[in-house]
Amino acid sequence: MRAGVVRTGTSVRSGLATTSYVLEKNRRRLLVLGVLIVAVLGLVGARDTVEGIAGFIAYAPLLGVQLMFAVMFMIVQFGALFWFLSRPRKYVVTPDDPQIGLTFDNYRGQPDLLDHARSTVRILQGVKEFELRGGEMPKGMLLSGSPGTGKTFLASCIAAEAGIPFIYVDASSLTSMFLGIDALIMNSLFRQARGYGRKYASAGMRGACILFMDELDSIGYSRGGVQGGQQQVGMMAGGMFGGGRLGLNAMLNQMDSLGALVEDRYSRRILRWLGLVRGPVPPKPVVFVIGATNRPEVLDPALTRPGRLDRTIVVHEPDADGRRDIVEHYLSLKAHDPEIPLDLMVADSIGWTPIMIKTIINEALIAAHDDGRSALTYKDWLNAADARTLGIKQPIRSWNVADRRDTAYHEAGHAVAARYLQPENRIAKATIIRRGHALGYVQPMPKEERTSHNAKQIETEIMVGLAGRGAEEVFFGAQRTGAASDLQSATLRALLYVAQFAMGPTKLVAPVAPPTSPPMPYQRAANDLLDQLHVETTRLLKEKQAAVRAVAEALIQRDELIADELEEVFQAAEAEHPELRKPFERRIVMFKPFLGEHEVESPEWTPPAQEPAVVAAAMGGPGLEPGAGLAADHANAGGSAGPGRRGSGRRRRNGDEAGPERSSPQ
C-alpha cells in the first residue's frame, strides 16, 4: 500500500516537474502570444475579431483546397520530376517477409569468410549484450575482390541469416544529374534504414538494419581524383547540374558524425522544441553498411577509414579445397557421370571464381542435353570451359592443306616444349580446331596450385611460347604470321622478367604497364633474353624432332588430342625413338652489363666461359624425366651472380638455388 502511494507521489512530482519545465521553456512564447491577442482586441475590437475569425473559418475549406492545388502543382512540377529521375533502385527485405531463400550452407569454398560473416551476424543480433560488455558496434564492412568471387552472394547470405531488415541498393542509382538530389537520397536512405531498425527491434534493443551498397565505387570514388578516382564534375547551367559529389559527403556524415548524438526524427524535434521531451538522445538503431566493389583503390580514404567501413574483407578466388567444395556442391545439383574425375576438375579450375565454376558446370549439362544424353561428363566440362574462355568450336571445313599442316606443326612445337620443359605441368589438350580467334592451341595446366614462380619457370614459359615460331623455322625454314600472339606474350613475360621482377642484369625495377614500355636498357635486356631462349627452344625442337612429327601427324589425323590421347602419342614416339627420353639440358642465360640510357654498347663483349660446376649448379643437378615432379623445393628461387662490373659478363642461373622467393608474375 505504502509502495503504491510512493509511486503515485513520484508520478505526480514528475508530472509537475515536466509541466513546470514546459511553462518555463515556453514562457516567452506564451507572453508574446498573449501580447498579440491583447493588441488585436484593442485595435480591432472584440466583436470585429470574432467576426473575422468566423469568416476565416467559413472561408477555410475553399482556401485549403486552393492551397492544396498550389502545393500539388509545385510537387508535380518539381518534386515528382526530381524523384522520378533520381529515385534509387532499392529493395527491402524484412524479417516478417523473408524473400532471400539462402543460408550460410549455400556459401561454399571460403570457410574463413564464412566464419567472419557469422561473427558479424552474431554481433548484429546481440547489439545490447555486446554493448553491455563494453563493445562498440562496427559501422560497416567493405567487400573487395575480382568480379564473380561472390561478394554480393556473401552479403545475401548475411542478410538471410541475420534476421534483421536488409536494404539492397545499387550504388550507381544514388547519383543524380541534379545538384543536391543525391545528398537528399542518401539522407533519406539512412533515415529509412533507422526506421526499419526501430520497427523490427526486439524489446529493450536499439535495433539494427543492414544497408548493402553494390558497386560502391560508383558513389564512393575519391573526391580529389587521387588513387585512380575520377575528377569532380564541374557545374553547368548555373549550378543546377552536378556530378553526384554531394552523395558521398552525405554518406560520410551519416556514417560517422555528430548527427549520431542528436535527434533526427521530426516528431521528436517538435516535442523537444516544446520542451515535452528532454535529456540525452537514446542510442539510435545501428545502420551496418556493407559495400562491395571490384576497385577498392579508387575509394575515398574518408570512406574506408576506421569508424566507417571498419572491416575490410578481400574475397579471393577459392583455393584447391574451396574449388573442390564448390564443384561437389554444384555437381550434386546436376545429373552427372558418377565416375567424373573430381581431381582433374579441381586442377582445371585453378584461378576460377565460384560463378565461373557454376556457369561451366551448367554449360556442360546443356551440351550433354543437346547431345541427347542425360548426364554431363568430363569431356562436356572441358568443352564448356573452352567455349567459355576461348569460344565455341568453328572448324574450317575447306582449310588449305598447307595451312592446316603448318598449324599442326606449330601447335606440336608448343606441346613438345611444354612436355619436356615443364614437368610440373600437364597438357590438358592440343587442338587445331578453330575457337574464337585461335586456329589452334595447346593447353598446359599446373598439376598443383602455385603462388609464386622462380626465374627458371618464367624462362620455360617464354620458351613454350616461342616453340610455335621455332617449329616453323626448324621444319619449314620460314616464319609465318600465326606466331604473332605468342610473340606478344613472350615479349611481355621477358619485360616483366627483367624490369618488374629484377631477374635480369639489374635489381633496379621499372614499371611494365602496356601500352607503355620500360626504358631502353630494360628493352635491350629483354631482347637479349628472348634471343637466347629462342636459340635454346630451336635446339630443343631439333633434339625432339621425332616427337614433334608424331604429335603433328596425330593432330592432322584427329584434329584434337585430349590429355590421355596426347600422352599416348608421346609414349609411342619415345618407344620408337628411345633417345627422346633423354632429358634436355638447357644452357644458362647470360646477360650483358646493364647500360645507361645513352651509353653505347661495347661491340667486343663475349660471354664468359662456363665452368662445369657452375653449369651443373645452374641446371639443378641431374636432369628430370618428362612428367616428373618439381626438381627443387617451392621455397627455393633462381639466383644470380654478383653485381658485376663493366666489361664483364653477368650470369643468370637457371637452377633452383637457395635464396629469397620470387614474386609470382600476375
Q: How buried is 505 (Cβ within 10 angstroms: 0-12 exposed, 13-18 middle, 19+ buried)?
A: buried
pLDDT bracket for residue 238 (50, 70, 90): very low
Rounded to whole angstroms, how far apart are CA atoms 442 and 490? 15
420 shares a domain with 385: no
pLDDT bracket for residue 102 (50, 70, 90): confident
Cα dist from 429 to 336, 376, 440, 466, whole Å: 22, 19, 10, 18
Q: Where are the alpha helices (DSSP H) in 211-319?
A: 217-220, 246-255, 266-274, 301-304
Full DSSP string of 371-388: TT-SSB-HHHHHHHHHHH
Q: Does residue 28 have a pLDDT over 50? A: yes
Q: Does residue 629 have a pLDDT over 50? A: no
325 shares a domain with 311: no
Amino acid at 150: G
The alpha-carbon radius of gyration of the chain (Å, integer) is 36
Identify which of 296, 328, 320 has the alpha carbon closest to the alpha carbon of residue 309. Answer: 296
Per the CB < 8 A criterion, the answer to whether 167 and 193 are in contact is yes
At 653 the pLDDT is 35
**What does the pLDDT average to over 346-367?**
93
Identify which of 357, 410, 352, 400 has the alpha carbon closest to the alpha carbon of residue 381. Answer: 357
At 83 the pLDDT is 64
CA atoms within a 13 Å half-sphere pointing along the CA-CB vector of 539:
12
Rounded to whole angstroms, how far apart are CA atoms 59 and 531? 98
411 shares a domain with 373: no
For residues 640 and 540, the model is more confident at 540
pLDDT bracket for residue 645 (50, 70, 90): very low
Per the CB < 8 A criterion, the answer to whether 411 and 432 are in contact is yes
pLDDT bracket for residue 636 (50, 70, 90): very low
Assigned domain for 201 exists: yes
Cα-to-chain-centroid distance, residue 336: 31
Assigned domain for 234 exists: yes
At 654 the pLDDT is 37
End-to-end CA distance of the chain: 81
Per the CB < 8 A criterion, the answer to whether 331 and 341 are in contact is no
Full DSSP string of 536-596: HHHHHHHHTHHHHHHHHHHHHHHSEEEHHHHHHHHHHHHHH-GGGGSPP-PPPEEEPPPP-
374 shares a domain with 442: no
Cα dist from 176 to 191, 223, 228, 548, whole Å: 19, 16, 22, 62
At 237 the pLDDT is 41
Q: 611: domain CATH number?
A: 1.20.58.760
User: Which one of 334, 361, 389 terminates a domain?
Assistant: 389
Q: Which tens digits make up the pLDDT trace of 499-528?
A: 999 999 999 898 888 777 888 889 999 999
At 410 the pLDDT is 95
Assigned domain for 274 exists: yes
What percent of the chain is modeled with pLDDT above 90?
32
CA atoms within a 13 Å half-sphere pointing along the CA-CB vector of 95:
17
Q: Mean pLDDT in the chain?
A: 79
At 607 the pLDDT is 52
Q: Which tens digits make up the pLDDT trace of 49-69?
A: 777 777 778 778 888 888 888
Cα-to-chain-centroid distance, residue 596: 39
Rounded to whole angstroms, how far apart are CA atoms 97 and 535? 69
Q: Which tens digits make up the pLDDT trace of 451-480?
A: 888 999 999 999 999 999 999 999 998 888
Pairing mode, if any, of strands 286-293 and 560-562?
unpaired
334 shares a domain with 429: no
Q: Does residue 493 have a pLDDT over 80? A: yes
337 shares a domain with 308: no
The interaxial angle of helices 246-255 and 181-199, nearest 10 deg, is 30
What percent of the chain is modeled with pLDDT above 70?
80
589 shares a domain with 527: yes
Identify which of 171, 174, 176, 172 has the alpha carbon closest to the alpha carbon of residue 241. Answer: 176
Specify the number of domains making up the chain: 3
Assigned domain for 63 exists: no
Rounded to whole angstroms, how far apart are CA atoms 462 and 442? 14
Assigned domain for 22 exists: no
Q: Which tens digits make up the pLDDT trace of 207-230?
A: 889 999 999 988 888 877 544 444
Assigned domain for 37 exists: no
Per the CB < 8 A criterion, the answer to whether 221 and 174 are in contact is no
273 shares a domain with 324: no
Q: Does residue 160 have a pLDDT over 60? A: yes
At 9 the pLDDT is 62
User: Which one of 269, 297, 315 terminates a domain?
Assistant: 315
For residues 223 and 437, the model is more confident at 437
Assigned domain for 81 exists: no
Least confident stretch, 159-163, 172-176, 300-304, 386-390: 172-176
Assigned domain for 96 exists: yes
User: Which one of 315, 345, 380 terminates a domain?
Assistant: 315
Q: Does residue 616 have a pLDDT over 50? A: no
Full DSSP string of 470-499: HHHHHHHS---GGGHHHHHHHHHHHHIIII
Per the CB < 8 A criterion, the answer to whether 222 and 156 are in contact is no
282 shares a domain with 133: yes
Q: 356: domain CATH number?
A: 1.10.8.60
Q: Which tens digits make up the pLDDT trace of 393-412?
A: 888 888 999 999 999 999 99
**What does the pLDDT average to over 252-268?**
77
Which triple of cell numbers denotes residue 100?
532471400
The pTM of the full predicted model, rounded to 2 decimals, is: 0.70
344 shares a domain with 295: no
pLDDT bracket for residue 595 (50, 70, 90): low
Cα dist from 603 to 111, 525, 600, whole Å: 60, 15, 9
430 shares a domain with 344: no
Q: 187: domain CATH number?
A: 3.40.50.300
Domain that holds residue 138: 88-315
268 shares a domain with 142: yes
At 662 the pLDDT is 36
